[in-house]
Every structure is written in C-alpha cells, then in structure tokens.
Structure 1
Amino acid sequence: MKVITVEEHFESAKVTQAMAAAAGQQSRPNVSPEMAHYMQTTLPTATIMQDVAKDRLEFMNRYGIDMQVLSYGNAQPQNLDPKDAVPLSQLANDELAKAIQVAPDRYAGLAVLPVGDPNAAAKELHRAVEQLGLKGVLLKGNYAGKFFDDPFFFPIFQAAAELNVPVYFHPSFVPPVITQHYFESDHWTEVVSGIFGSAGYGWHMDVGIQVMRMILSGIFDKLPNLKLVSGHWGELVPMFLERLDDELDKYDGLKRHFSAYYRDNVYVTPSGILSQPQLNFLLEEVGAEHILYSIDYPYKQPANAATFLNDAKLTASQREAIAHGNAERVFNLK
C-alpha cells in the first residue's frame, strides 16, 4: 500500500542563519532556562531537521512511507518584519524546492509566506506553486496578535483558492499572557507550564480556535473551494461540531451549519498521534475522505508508524484513501 505523510518538517541552515541575522537573535523563541534545557535535550537537532538525503529516507524506507510533504515548522520567516520576511520567504521556498530535488519522487513541499504583507504573500504563493512546484502553504500560529480570519489576510486565501492548493494551519507559541492565565502554576515547574501551554495542549487549543474563526468569518461563502488542513486530529475542534451548531446557528449569520463548512472544507491529520479511538471518532465526524496521514517527523517517530493503518479497523477503500488517495487529491500530487 502506498503511504504519503503530509506534516513532516524541514529546516534550512541558510534560512535559519539569515533569520537570526535579520532578527538579531536566535530564531527560536525566548524561554525560561528550564524550558530551554528541555528543548535542547528533547527536540530534533538541526542536522536531523535539515537532512533529506540519508536519515530521513532511511526512516521512510523502514516505516513504509513513500512520500513526505515537507514544511518548515517554527524556524521559518513568516512572522518577521515584511522587509525581511519577503526575501527570506523566497529564500526558504527556493531552499525547500532544492531539497525536494534530492529525491523528487519521495518529497513534495509547502510554501512559507511573508504574511505581514498579504499581497506580497499571495504573489509568493503563486511563484512557489507555479514556478517551484510546491503544493500548498503552511501557516503557523498568528501574526502580530491577529488571527488569519482578519480581512487583512484575505489575499493569501484568495490566492490559495485560485491555485487550488490547501492551507495547513500549524501550531506555534501562544502569547505569554495566555500561558500565564491558563498554564502556569506554583504547583509545577516552568518546564511543565511550557509543555502544557505548547505541545501538550495550548498550541492545539490556539490553532483549533484559528480554524473555528475562519469558519465564523464566512470565508467559505466567499471562497467555497478553499481547503484547510488541521493536524493533531483537528486540534480538538471535531469533538464540538454538534455543540457549535446548537449554540451558533441562531446567531452567526452563516448560510449553512458550522459543521457543514468544517466537514466540506477542512481536512484532518493525526500528526503522529496514532490512536485507534481518535481515528474511530474522526471517521464518524468527518468521514474517511477528509482524513490524511501524517507522522510529524522528526518531532514524532512513533513505533507504530508502519503498522497503524494496516492494523486499524478500516475498509480497504478507507485505508487507501487515508494512506495516499486523499493526499494525492488535496495536494495535487498526481
């Protein structure tokens, strides 16, 4: 069975160095000494992130992964000042396109965009797709305190709809005031607060709200073919679709149920959380045709990456759709 994973991360040494120079600091966010130690000892090294020729391919071969769709994670220039973000996003996309050429039958990629200048971002998305052959865009977190439903960013989504490429919403660090209010306590360490407020829960709450705001903004009435991709089994949102319908239908001004937009325009991936109960729930809520496979390499390298889909309680057609068919359709990989 062919397998395509669609949230697999990459960094470029050239881009990371250029970002640090532009920002006057390291590209990763400032954190407490305890959290910095945790990140240094648990997160993938730059060497692993940058590799496309050896360890990554060995992992893919070992776990039966035919193709990875590569994207920059948090070490990317999206949120820099536009004067820096525009040229560095171009550099990042050029570097990713070059990395893909190491094994073009095994890799595809998602663009980085300078979101602080939406018109320049739309132009760069056209270049990335039409000239470099990238297959969509990954947006992380938010920009300058604005979620992406803000009309300011509309040119980016209009371009994605025109190009028929998806927008993958990826978590990023939440504002410190959110961390302080929800995730810090005198009863646990700063490392626990940092994890609780990021990869443990906070990131997922934040980017799930991002997807909900996109629906509530009415963007899918304006751009009915726009496709969003949401990792980590939908970042908590699918569990509340019926509740959102019940509570919002009378007031939100949308033409359809909230859940109808979600089920038509949003695709979900596991991001390496390979759990049968969560898969069962998503099959019921959105259907196999809206589930894509992802490992979140190299952050996650689950032991059941090679066996999960084969062992899962799926029909043959569901298994093929989730393993590769949906990815080929959504990301235009054929």
Structure 2
Amino acid sequence: MKIITVEEHFESAKVTQAINQSVGKKAMPNVSKEMLHYMQTTLPTPEIMQDVTNQRIAFMDKYEIDQQILSYGNSSPQNLDPKVAVKLCQEANDELAKAVQDNPTRFGGLAVLPVSDPTAAATELKRAVNELHLNGVLLKGNYQGKFFDDPFFFPIFEAASQLDVPVYFHPSFIPTSVTQHYFANDNWSDVVTGILSSAGYGWHMDVGIQVMRMIVSGIFDKLPNLKLVSGHWGELVPMFLERLDDEVNAYAGLKKSFSDYYRNNVYVTPSGILSKPQLNFLLAEMGPEHLIYSIDYPYKQPENARTFLDNTDLTPDQLEAFTHGNAERIFHLN
C-alpha cells in the first residue's frame, strides 16, 4: 500500500535564525508563561523539526510512509512585516525546495507566503510552483485579526486557482479575548486554559470558521477551481453541513448551497487524529474523493499511523484514494 501524508511540518535553522534576527526572540502571542513552558517541554525540538534525513526518514520507514508533503511549522515568516516577510518567505521556500530536491521521492512541499503583501505573495506562489516545483501553499491562522475571506487577500487565492494548487488552512493561536471568554476559569490552571484554547479545541474552531467564512464570502463563485484543504477532520465544520444549509442558504446569496461548495472545493485530512468513527462520518459526508491522509509529524507521531489504515471500513479503491490517490491528484505529485 502506497502512503502519502500531507500535513507534515518542517523548519529551517537558517530561516529561524533570520526570523529571530529580524524580530527578536519573543514569546508567542496570546500564550501565558505557564502555557509557554508547557509548549517548550512538549513540542518537538528544533533538531527534530529541522531534520529531513535521520529521525524523519526513520519514522516514515517504520510506518511505511512513502512520501511527506512538508510545510513550515511554528517558525514561519508568514505574518511578519512585509519589509522582511517577502524576502524571508523567498528564502524559506528556497530552503524547503532544497529539502525536496535532495530527496524528491520522499518529500513534496507547501510554500509559505508573505500574506501582509498579497500581491508579493501571489508572485511568490507562482515562483514557488513554477520554478521551485512546490505543490501548494499552507496558510496559518490569520493575519492581524483578518480572516482570509477579506478581499485584501484575494490575489493569493486567485493565483492558487490559476495554478491549480491547493491552499491548506492550518490552525494557530486565537485572540486572548476569545481565550478568556470561552476557555479561562479559576478552577483550572493557565496550562489547561491554553490547551483548551489551542490544540484541544479553540484553534480548530477558529480555522473551521476560516473555511466557513471563505464559503459564505462567495469566493468559490469567483474562483470555482479553488481548492482548500482542512485538517483535523475538517475542524468541526462537517458536523454542521446540513444545519448550515438549513440556516444560511436562503440568505447568503450564493449560487449553490453551503454544503455543495464544501463538498466540491474542500478536502479533509485527519492530521493524526486516527479515529475510525470520524473517518466513517467524513466518508459519508464528503465521499472518498475528498479525504486525504495526514499525520501532523513531528507534532504528532501516532503509534497507529500504519495499523489505522489496516482496520478501516474503506473499500480497496477508497483506501487507495485516501492513502495516496487523492493526494497525487490534488497536489500534482506524479
């Protein structure tokens, strides 16, 4: 069985050093001291994040993963000031492309873009795809509180549509005011608040809303070829497709129903949440052509990364689509 995973993260020591020199080593925004300590003691080390030869390949071989699609992790220049972001994103994509070129049968790559300058970002995406042969783009969180449905960012999605490459929406930390309103309580520690507001629930809700807003904005009427990828089994949105149809369709002024856009233009991955009930639900909601495998390495390294695939209820054709066929088609891996 051929296996490709498409949400696997990488960082460059050179780019991380350049980011630190440009903006200084600052605590991550919206993160308490307690949560920052928790992250520092539980997240992969820089050595693991930057490795593309030793531990990463060993993990892939152990779980019979043929290819990873690499994208930048926490050390990403995406949201920096455009004065530094444009150059650093170019350098980051060059570094990522080199990692792919050094081992092209094992890796692909998703570009990072300077979203603070959408015109420059669109230009960089075209370079990343046409010259560096990367396979799409990953956008993380939002920029200065703006969701990506804002017309400001339209050049990025127009370029992705023209190039026929997918845009992977990835979570990031939510505003402090939202964290305090929904997740903080004196009955538990700041670490628990931080987990609930991030990887536990909050940032999944946030990036699911990101996808929902893209649909309601009407961007798929303007760019019907645009493809989005949503991890963590769709970041909660697929649970509400019928509800959103019932409540939104009559008022949104769209050509199609909410669920039609979602099922046509969005592709869903597990991001290492390897649960048979969730897979079966997404299969019923999305169909086999819109499910793509992902692990979220090295943040997640599930012991059932391979055996999960041996115990699904998928037919052989559906399993082939899930494990590699859809990824090859959407990310143009052949």
TM-score bracket, shorter-length normalisation: over 0.9
Kindly report which structure 2 residues correspond to 1:133-282, keeping only aligned pairs within 5 A, or say none.
133-282=133-282
- Residue identity in the other structure for 1:284: A
| 1:281 CA displacement | 0.3
- Give the match's secondary structure for 1:162: helix
Runs of at least 5 residues in structure 1 that lack an aligned partner in the other structure: none
Cα shift at 1:28:
4.0
Deviations 1:289-314 (A, max 9, x none): 10000000001011110111121111
1:295 is matched with which residue? 295
Return the alpha-carbon distance in structure 2 between the equivalents of residues 325 and 291 of structure 1: 10
Opposite residue 100 of structure 1, the aligned amino acid is V
State the match for 2:113 in structure 1: 113
Name the aligned partner's letter for residue 254 of structure 2.
Answer: L
Between the aligned partners of 2:307 and 2:101, the Cα distance in structure 1 is: 28
* Letter in structure 2 aligned against 1:166: P
Instruction: Find the counterpart in structure 2 of residue 53 from structure 1.
Output: 53
SS at structure 1 position matched to 2:69? strand
Q: CA RMSD in A?
A: 0.9
Post-superposition offset of 1:25: 2.5
| Conservation of the 8 A alpha-carbon contact between 2:30 and 2:174 | no
Specify the code of the residue in structure 2 equivalent to 1:7: E
- Would you say 1:313 and 2:316 are equivalent positions? no
Q: Could you tell me which amino acid in structure 2 is paired with residue 144 of structure 1?
A: Q
Aligned residues: 334
The answer to whether the 8 Å contact 2:161/2:223 transfers is: yes
Q: Structure 2: which 5+ residue stretches go unaligned?
A: none
SS in 2 for 1:41: helix
Percent of paired sites with the same residue: 73
Following TM superposition, the consecutive aligned residue runs of length 4 or more in structure 1 with deviations greater than 2 angstroms are: 24-33
Instruction: In structure 2, give the amino acid aligned to 1:17.
Output: Q
- Aligned counterparts of 2:143 and 2:214: Cα–Cα separation in 1: 15
**3-state SS in 1 of match to 2:212:** helix
State the distance in 2 between where 1:191 and 1:214 align.
32
User: In structure 2, the residue corresponding to 1:249 is in which secondary structure?
Assistant: helix
Structure 2 CA distance for aligned equivalents of residues 150 and 27 of structure 1: 28
Letter in 2 for 1:39: M
Q: Normalising by the residue count of structure 1, what TM-score does the alignment of the two structures yield?
A: 0.99
Q: Measure how far apart 1:254 and its partner are.
A: 0.5
| Residue aligned with 2:19, SS | helix
Is the CA contact (8 Å cut-off) linking 2:232 and 2:269 kept in structure 1?
Answer: yes
TM-score, normalisation: structure 2: 0.99
